[in-house]
Amino acid sequence: MPAGMINMSVAEMSIRRGRPAGILMALGAAFVEFFQIFVAIKFASIINGSPAFDMTLNVLATIIFVSLTIYYFFYAKPVNPGQGVDVPKYRTFFRGMAVSSLNVLVFPYWIFISTYLNTNDLLDLSYTNIAIFSLGGMAGGFGLFAVYACLADFIIKRSKNVASYVNKVIGALFLLLSVYQFYRMIPLLFR
């Protein structure tokens, strides 16, 4: 799974607060993904290919990524690996939910996947089947986010130097995502 807003946030949480906090944040992010997947699949036929919808998602994603870039470059506190482990667990879970809620790019992804599966008769669009499919997507998302949490924890334990660059690296990734989103908006502007 490529570097994105959720995985980078989970990795950062794992670096800052330890692997259990990263896993808990991953669980919160995956919980929200269930509902995002369900909604995206259920309404795929309504909004699929709508230029206004595509433009809105790209503008929102660009704004979010630019905001995160500014935050990580200028306002994020320096990382102290494993510090602050006493943060209440529910706050970490809800932070995962909040970060996942900001991920508007999940909608076009699942709309595309569900449209492809439905046109090839691989996905029945009944509520039960969509719920089961969404549970699978949630479980897969959690597994991938948990891998990021474990890898971040593994890397930070191997190299304390990495901690001093975490904010800049995450900021640079969000800058690249911002530029990519803006690039994707250009064709939509000239339709």
Give CA separation, 177 vs 91, 99, 180, in Å. 27, 15, 5
For the cut 90, the answer to whether the pLDDT of residue 87 exceeds it is: no
pLDDT at position 184, please?
A: 77
Question: What is the band of 45 on the pLDDT scale with cuts at 50, 70, 90?
Answer: low
Distance CA 118, CA 124 (A): 7
Q: What is the mean pLDDT of residues 12-38?
A: 92
The string of pLDDT tens digits covering residues 99-124 is 999 887 788 788 878 877 877 778 88
pLDDT at position 95, please?
A: 93
Q: What share of the chain is helix, strand, coil (3-state, %, to 5)?
A: 80, 0, 20
Q: What is the mean pLDDT of residues 9-14?
A: 88
| Phi (first) and psi of residue 18, to 5 degrees | 105, 165
Distance CA 104, CA 91 (A): 22
Residue written as tokens 């339709």? 191
pLDDT at position 49, please?
A: 57
The string of pLDDT tens digits covering residues 61-80 is 788 878 878 887 888 776 55
CA 114 to chain centre: 19
Distance CA 153, CA 167 (A): 15
Cα 66–70–73 angle (5° rounding)? 135
